[in-house]
Amino acid sequence: MCGIIGYIGDKKASEVLINGLSHLEYRGYDSSGVALSYKGEVEIYKAQGKLINLIEILKTKEDICSKSHLGIGHIRWATHGLPTTLNAHPHTCNCKSLTLVHNGIIENYQELKEELKSKGCTFVSQTDTEVAAHLIAQEYGKTKDLLCAMQNAVKKIKGAFAFCAIHKNEPDKIVVAKRNAPLVIGLGDGENFIASDIPAIIEYTKKAIYLSDYQVGVVTKNDVKIYDKDDKLIQNKVENLPFEAIAISKMGYKHFMLKEINEQSDVVRNVLSSKLVSSSENVVLNEFKLSKEKIKKITRVQIIACGTSLHAGLVGKYIIEQLAKIPVDVEASSEYIYRDTIADENTLVIGISQSGETADTITAIKQAKEKGSHIVIITNRADSTMARLADSLLPVNAGIEVSVAATKSYMAQLMSLYLLSFYLSEQKEIKEYSSIIKNLKQELIELPNKIELITQNPQNIQKIAKKYSSYKDFIFIARGINYPSALEGALKLKEISYINATGYCAGELKHGPIAMLDENMPVLAVLNTGIVYDKVLSNCEEARARQAKLIGVTNHIAEKDKGLFDDLIIIPQISDMASPALNIVVLQMLAYYIAEYLGKDVDQPRNLAKSVTVE
């Protein structure tokens, strides 16, 4: 993970770097650092912990901060070495002439380190990055040219990297390189920017060049030159950036997570717009590139994803199997990749990812692609690595999601999966489901208003959150299509409040987890009217009999059953098949308010990062 930034121009480099890093905090926040260059001298400042610690240090360095107009910066999610100041980037070589920031993992760093040590390099940190700093510096010793040094060094490095390097002898440039880690160069007028992601630079420019793997670039104030893997000068396309700066503002909300939960009604409207026009018309999904004939030949679907996206995939399994009658396997990407997965040209492989940069999912997708499967990517980032691997790209356009805990991107993924399952069913001309699909379409059209009924009336959820915020453990249960809601609700709670929360399919409770139940273990049950309603109700009885506190999230509860629950959260009327999209809003809000009562750092939970670019 980690975020990198670079600036060259007339502005104060420190301000651009810090501002940029603040928008990359979602990528990690263990430590941060900047290198500021002025007339060939480079000063490095680093701090352990949140970016604010670095900001405090820079406040005392007014002199260099006001003079420097070229710099590089980094925000770290520790992989090699503890999150200490020593391990924070930038890193340098022994003579401190070369300074480097890095995002990624250098796989052969041990081997390179030994070689460099034998040549006299001494290492001060435990990071893999320091190896690259020494290596590039060694190459500089031979070539006396930063571009050539970088080109030679990257040929010796195995693994993933986005690099920004500066050298005291060439104080008018930043040299960059990329392989399997994102890097974008923002183009300004008499200034240029480098970043791991667009939010870091969107305030300054709307034009950018994306570097591709194996490319190396030289960025000066007025120019950007890109070289391919054979060191040949090439021209990359200049692209218009998709976001507005406003998209990364909290807009008055206390946390990005709360803002993003509240945006979900609009996200649904967005995803459905122009694709689902009315309940009686077929879905328009021009992004799906398989012909009708090929769709009819699909024998299986494999959904690969991680974390929250994996839970969206599990909902996808229920609806695709039910409506399109194709067997669906859902697997964590990290499990998919280390076995000989059975996939062929009649397998539809769906990769789901908010960031489009998750390393495990990228590897899994590449593996499936080699087997000739058609690759569908459902991602919030149409500019991502995964998007570029897609045969069919279904961008979900949830807007930029800043909070580390995914909320609105999950909602957008659900909507895409509903659309896809309708589309597959319609293309396969499965007439027996057309009335179910018609009703479901109508429900999705009405969904935004129902989401707003929940988000605009948080009082009951807030009260329940307060009541349960002191518990140390939680169990979430549900069945059928809401089983993924239980998993996702538990994930949301544990990641932002650090309460030990586990999701189970309710029927499994009696096969072991029930041993955990007593008055200290609240059980949250999601029960929606439908085929499994009575079954979940019985599972609630079993929990109650063990004195567990019971919270019910439901669209309906009979008067006679109300007494079973300590607390109830009633959602608007909705069918079982559409209900995951409403239930999850409640569970996100519950997790949010519990974490908020506990005073947790909701948007940046410990140990996490939003874009997980390491396997």
Residue type, 64: I
Of 79 and 354, the one with the shorter C-beta distance to ligand F6R is 354
Residue with tokens 């052969």: 108
Joined together, the tokens standing for residue 13 give 């480099």
Residue ranges of the alpha helices (H) in 107-229? Answer: 109-118, 129-143, 146-156
Q: Is the dihedral of CA 317, 322, 328, 329 positive or negative?
A: positive
User: Residue 308 or residue 482: which is nearer to ligand F6R going by CB?
Assistant: 308
**Angle, helices 580-597/434-455, rounded to nearest 10 degrees:** 20
Q: Which is nearer to ligand F6R, 195 or 412 (CB)?
A: 412
Measured from the CB of residue 361, what is the shortest distance to ligand F6R in angstroms? 5
Give least dist CB 493 to ligand F6R, A: 11
**Active-site residue among 12, 173, 441, 610?**
610
Cα–Cα dist 306/315, whole Å:
14
Which of 68/309 has CB closer to ligand F6R? 309
The CA-based dihedral angle spanning residues 539, 540, 546, 548, taken in that order and rounded to the nearest 10 degrees? 140
Closest residue to ligand F6R using C-beta atoms: 307
Catalytic residue among 2, 93, 306, 540: 2
Q: Which residues pair with 48 in a beta bridge?
A: 31
Residue 268 corresponds to which tokens in the numbers above?
Answer: 């649904």
Q: Which residues contact 558 (CB under 8 A, 6 or more apart)?
A: none
| Residue 348: closest CA among 409, 303, 395, 317 | 303
Spatial separation of the C-alpha atoms in residues 264 and 581, rounded to whole Å? 10
Residue the block writes with tokens 């506990």: 598
Q: How many CB atoms lie within 10 A of CB 296?
A: 12
Q: For residues 506 and 489, is the Cβ–Cβ distance under 8 A?
A: no
Separation between Cα atoms, residue 119 and residue 122, nearest integer Å: 9
Q: State in angstroms the smallest separation of the CB of 357 from ligand F6R.
A: 7
Taking the least distance from each CB to ligand F6R, the nearer of 524 and 602 is 602
**What is the C-alpha to C-alpha distance for residues 410 and 443, in angstroms, rounded to an integer?**
18
Shortest separation between residue 188's beta carbon and ligand F6R, angstroms: 29
CB of 259 to ligand F6R, least distance (A): 15
Residue 51 C-beta: closest distance to ligand F6R, Å: 20
Query: From the CB of 491, what's the least distance to ligand F6R, in Å?
Result: 6
Shortest distance (Å) from residue 498 CB to ligand F6R = 14
Q: Which residues bind ligand F6R (CB under 6 A)?
A: 306-309, 353-355, 358, 361, 405-406, 491, 495, 612
- Give 306 or 326: the residue with its C-beta nearer to ligand F6R: 306
2 carries an active-site annotation? yes
Residue 330 or residue 574: which is nearer to ligand F6R going by CB? 330
Q: What is the largest CA-CA distance in the chain?
A: 83
**Residue in this structure with the two tokens 């380190």, named with its chain if needed:** 113
Tokens of 606: 């410990």
Q: Least distance in Å: CB of 308 to ligand F6R?
A: 3
**Region of residue 547 (left: phi > 0; alpha: psi -120 to 50; beta: else):** left
* 27 vs 441 by CB, closer to ligand F6R: 27
Query: Which pairing describes strands 159-167 and 98-106: parallel, antiparallel, or unpaired?
Result: antiparallel
Q: Using alpha carbons, select from 580, 273, 296, 314 the residue that is nearest to residue 426.
A: 296
Burial 527-563 (b: 16+ CB within 10 A, else e): bbbbebbeebbebbebbbeeebbbbbbbbebeeebee
Give the three-class secondary structure for 577.
coil
CB of 361 or CB of 425, closer to ligand F6R: 361
Residue 530 — φ and ψ, nearest 5°? 155, -165
The partner residues of 159 in beta bridges, in order of sequence, read: 106
Cβ-based nearer residue to ligand F6R, 348 or 493:
493
Of residues 586, 595, 566, 602, the one with CA closest to residue 466 = 595
In the complex, minimum distance from the CB of residue 358 to ligand F6R, in angstroms, rounded to a whole number: 3
Whether 237 is a known active-site residue: answer: no
3-state secondary structure (DSSP) of residue 379: strand
Cβ atoms < 10 Å from Cβ of 500:
14
For residue 208, the SS3 value is strand
Show which residues are catalytic.
Answer: 2, 610
